[in-house]
């Protein structure tokens, strides 16, 4: 087990940001830590990385208690904080060399710097000031400083927030690539991010963990209350006759000959729709059941 959080609470003054949180991240896993703004994600990550203390509870990373072995723990962890604070006046290569020199890993600063510039695709920008880089390249610098000492555990707080769609894809690929041999915990409020890169998802809301599941299992665990089917016929059909199909609760025509049909209950109503078509001399051109997605699960669990 790479990260173990046991019964952690955190108060800021009288405000409770984390309420008795327990979670575990296994070695080699990529876990998505998702929740709405203010849920406590950044607070949890700052506690795991030893940047702020918990009010109560215990955290260990690779078997080391976070409070006691703070410096040792920092060597095990690469951390990209929210909003990626960097020194805008420093040059990329200069900054990464500076970060490398802090960790005494035994590898030369030059080699570490060269390797990380190569890995994160920063070569063309290495002699520029950080402040002059695009947001996508600044984020690469943030990832580079998190990865430079080759830590076993990566903690990434909203690594793709504020990037354009192309930059998002690039940074996700980098995380996937860099995360192959590492344990990764990444926070996000974007569900597609979790769908794209994570093995497991932990959902937090108002300082409380509300779900902790393998990505593939979370869908079946939270079944949508209704079936939603989209069907296209070759000709027009009548609302009223479609509504008479057993279990159908609503019928909506969205375009010419295309309908969205909602039905109650567990029994798949697609065969009934098909039979309806046969009886009414219609041809089914397409018939799709809309699967629930993480977005729905998330909204369901966080009551949004
Ligand atoms: P998230 O990262 O999920 O958006 P945060 O961990 O940043 O959530 O915040 C959780 C809660 O704690 C929020 O209500 C936030 O306002 C509060 N909070 C965070 N940092 C501080 C702080 N330094 N002082 C006071 N309250 C804080
Ligand atoms: Mg945050």
Q: What are phi and psi of 41, to 5 degrees?
A: -60, -55
Average pLDDT over residues 31-59: 95
Name which of 205, 185, 209 is nearest 197 in CA terms. Answer: 185
**DSSP code of residue 181:** G
Answer yes or no: is the C-beta of 188 below 6 A from any ligand 1 atom: no
Judge if the beta carbon of residue 43 lies within 6 A of ligand 1: yes
Our answer on whether the CB atom of 151 is closer than 6 Å to any ligand 1 atom is no
The predicted pLDDT at position 304 comes to: 63
**What is the residue with the minimal CA distance to atom 26 of ligand 1?**
12
CA of 297 to the centre of ligand 2 (A): 20
**Pocket-testing residue among 36, 40, 41, 204, ligand 1, by greatest number of atoms within 8 A of Cβ:** 40
How far away, in angstroms, is 36 Cα from ligand 1 center?
Answer: 11
* Ligand 1 binding pocket includes 10 (Cβ within 6 Å): no
Region 266-294 average pLDDT: 87
Closest CA to 164 of 186, 191, 134, 185: 134
Pocket test for ligand 1, best of 17, 44, 52, 190 (most atoms within 8 A of CB): 17
Residue 58, pLDDT above cutoff 80: yes
Could you tell me the pTM of the whole model?
A: 0.81
Taking residues 159-169, report their average pLDDT: 89
* % of the chain at pLDDT higher than 70: 95
25-34, 150-159, 191-200: lowest mean pLDDT where? 191-200
- Torsion angles phi and psi, residue 131, rounded to 5: -65, -20
User: Which atom of ligand 1 sits closest to the CA of residue 44?
Assistant: 6
Ligand 1 atom closest to 10 (CA): 12
**Residue scoring higher pLDDT (265 or 43):** 43
Question: By alpha-carbon position, which residue is closest to atom 16 of ligand 1?
Answer: 38
- Mean model confidence pLDDT for the chain: 91
Helix %, strand %, coil % of the chain (to 5): 35, 30, 35
- In this structure, the residue with its CA closest to atom 27 of ligand 1 is 12
State the pLDDT confidence band at 192, using cuts at 50, 70 and 90: confident
Give the pairing type, strands 3-12 and 56-61.
Answer: antiparallel
> Worst-scoring range by mean pLDDT, 28-37, 181-190, 209-218?
209-218
Q: pLDDT tens across 212-252, in order?
A: 999 888 766 666 667 889 999 999 888 778 889 989 999 99
Closest CA to 207 of 25, 23, 51, 43: 43
The rounded distance, in Å, linking the Cα atoms of 179 and 167 is 18
Lowest mean pLDDT among 102-106, 110-114, 175-179, 258-262: 102-106
Ligand nearest 161 Cα, by number? 2
Above 90 in pLDDT, residue 162?
no
* Class of residue 48 by CB neighbours under 10 A (exposed 0-12, middle 13-18, buried 19+): buried
- Which residue, judged by its Cα, is nearest atom 7 of ligand 1? 42
The Å distance, Cα 158 to ligand 2 centre, comes to: 7
| High-pLDDT (> 90) share of the chain, % | 68
Q: Is 41 in the pocket of ligand 1 (CB under 6 A)?
A: yes
CA of 271 to the centre of ligand 1 (A): 50
pLDDT tens digits for 100-157? 998 888 889 999 999 999 999 999 999 999 999 999 999 999 999 999 999 999 999 9
């Amino acid at each position: 087990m790479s990260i173990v959080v046991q019964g952690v609470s955190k108060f800021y003054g009288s405000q409770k940001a984390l309420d008795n949180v327990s979670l575990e991240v296994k070695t080699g896993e990529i876990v998505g830590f998702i929740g709405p703004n203010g849920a406590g994600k950044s607070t949890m990550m700052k506690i795991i990385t030893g940047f702020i203390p918990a009010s109560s509870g215990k955290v260990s990373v690779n078997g080391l208690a976070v409070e006691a072995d703070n410096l040792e723990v920092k060597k095990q962890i690469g951390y990209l904080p929210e909003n990626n604070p960097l020194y805008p006046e420093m040059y990329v290569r200069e900054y990464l060399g500076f970060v490398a020199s802090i960790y005494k890993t035994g590898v030369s600063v030059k080699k570490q710097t060269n390797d990380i510039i190569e890995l994160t695709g920063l070569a063309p920008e290495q002699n520029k000031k950080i402040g002059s880089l695009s947001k996508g390249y600044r984020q690469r610098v943030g990832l580079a400083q998190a990865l430079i000492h080759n830590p076993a555990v990566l903690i990434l707080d909203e690594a793709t927030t504020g990037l354009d769609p192309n930059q998002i894809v690039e940074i996700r690929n980098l995380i996937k690539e860099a995360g192959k041999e590492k344990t990764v915990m990444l926070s996000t409020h974007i569900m597609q991010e979790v769908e794209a890169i994570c093995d497991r998802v932990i959902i937090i809301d108002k300082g409380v963990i509300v779900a902790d599941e393998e990505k593939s299992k979370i869908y079946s665990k939270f079944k949508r209350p209704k079936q939603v089917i989209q069907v296209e016929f070759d000709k027009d059909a009548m609302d009223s006759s479609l509504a008479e199909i057993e279990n159908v609760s609503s019928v909506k025509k969205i375009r010419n000959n295309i309908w969205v049909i909602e039905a109650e209950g567990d029994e798949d109503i697609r065969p009934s729709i098909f039979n309806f078509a046969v009886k009414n001399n219609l041809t089914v051109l397409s018939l799709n059941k809309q699967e629930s997605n993480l977005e729905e699960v998330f909204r369901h669990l966080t009551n949004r």
